[in-house]
Structure 1
Amino acid sequence: MNGWGVAGWGAAYAALGAGCAAGGQALFGLAWLGWAVAAVGAVAVAVGLAVVRLGPQPPLRRALLALCALTVAGAFSLLMDVITLIFGQGVDSRADAGLHALSAFGAVLLAGVARPGRPARAAEPVGPASRRVQLAACAGTLAFAPYVAMKLVWVLGGTFAGTDGAEMRAASERNGASGIWLTLESWGLDGTVLLAALGVFLLWGLVRPWGRVFPRWTPVLRGRPVPRWLPLTPALLGAATLAPYGVLGLGYLSLATAGAVTIRPGDFHSAADALLVGWIGFCAFAVYGVALAVAARSYWRRTASGRQAP
């Protein structure tokens, strides 16, 4: 059944890539990428059918993992698509968003099929994560402090990096912010700050025992075990998006700070202001994304038996 699932997903992936290529729709701005996606899907179909016929042999597992790595790359920025759909007018490209979503689904499917059939051995005892993992969670939490402070200054009408709250609100309207986003700003709330709070909640739920049971304010589910996939899905999605996004962004800012590349001011009055805001934002994304990946790995290993304590 797993092999059939891989083959079916591969057919859908190939159809998306071939359809975009044949129709002249560029993916990620590259006209040839559609054919590459179609090739990955075709290989997935062949590997899936081989799994059906031969079972998950080691060579096929390696092929599945290689395909999984490619689809993780294809899922990059899916989280940004979700945020844009919630707070913006719509995604920039429906084809790209579809590729992101299908790639993320495929990454989970391929990783699951490639996983050995023997029960996984938990490397850490069930309970809180190790001290190192909790220190990583602390770092991921503290990394958001300057970012949240900056956003709150703007949403409360203050000035930061030479730009005041009214100018930032005008920029939000100009950039197509949704009614939900603008309403939150009128209430003194910033959408990204709320998402950061949810992200920190998820991060600590992965490393502390309370994250493994439903909280007391859920009357029907109170005290029941949380399914492993429920926190791991947003954690893996967030880590796969924010960690590379933040690290690549920091690399670009380093080049801009050194004068190797030129950064555009964008919505700010000068390139220096844009650099300051960029450093705060990308540092938060990079550190939090890495911390989330570390916490997700720890949670995966600590709950590997599949049995949640009540």
Structure 2
Amino acid sequence: MIYTITLNPSIDYILAMDRLEPGSLNRSTHETVLPGGKGINVSRVLKRLDIDSTVLGFGGGFTGRYIEEYLRKEGISSRLVPVDGLSRINVKIMADQETEINANGPDIQRADLEKLLQTVAGLTSGDVLVLAGSIPASIPKTFYQTIAETIQGKDVRLVVDAEKNLLEPVLDYRPFLIKPNHHELGQIFQATIKTVEEAVYYGKKLLERGVQNVIVSMAEQGSVLLNEQGVWQATVPKGELKSSVGAGDSTVAGFLAGIERGYSLEKSFQLANAAGSATAFSIGLCTKDQVEQLFDQVKVKKIM
């Protein structure tokens, strides 16, 4: 089973309008309400690719219940630890410019953390655990490391998609996959990465740290996959970029979906890029049909 952890899930309230005028009454042309969070995005894309997963994290009040109910209607299992307060509502205004207002979310108590860790401790051999996104202020910044320690020795595949200060302490636990973009990879090594060759150079340093698979997204240059078997580069299919939100999460989901289907690492990488691109070419997360349409357009070649 694949488990995704979203420590600060949200309701994303998306308002579309022609123009935002601060200080005046504004009216939206239409609204969209969705569950938000990187781990939740991974689970939602996995479901669209016919792969089951379970969402873990924290949920508070009526907003937390809404998130779980929304996921249930999509056929996604969730086990959110109930906490005091309300799960956050993030407001995204799509006008002549995009404006986001993100709330803090509830305060998570030590007892809440222990309940989540008890669930994590129950994972067994063959399971996959995805740690994605930021950590709210009320949770220790070392909590990803604590989770990694909890599953150490259980033969659970660990996937991490997070910023440098959360990612680096987890590298020593031999994660199965990490997925930085070239800017995030550069931040890890305090370098500027502009070329595929530079991405490969620094990606190999992560392999030396024990990471099993590294996917580095390179915008219009496609992406590269590095592991002990070699290095592959994938092209970007043709399409109009509409939103990068969720594209990285979709890439992670596509790769894991390929692994679950029994694909080779190369073919799983191809599916990852099709899913990431399909989301980038959409408003919202990709659909299965969109991914399948782009799959053959993604060309993967071994470069080392």
Band the TM-score falls in, shorter-chain normalisation: under 0.3
Q: Which has the higher contact order (CA 8 A, sep 6+)?
A: 1
Larger radius of gyration: 1
- If each structure's helix is expressed as a fraction of its own residues, which one has the higher value? 1
- If each structure's strand is expressed as a fraction of its own residues, which one has the higher value? 2
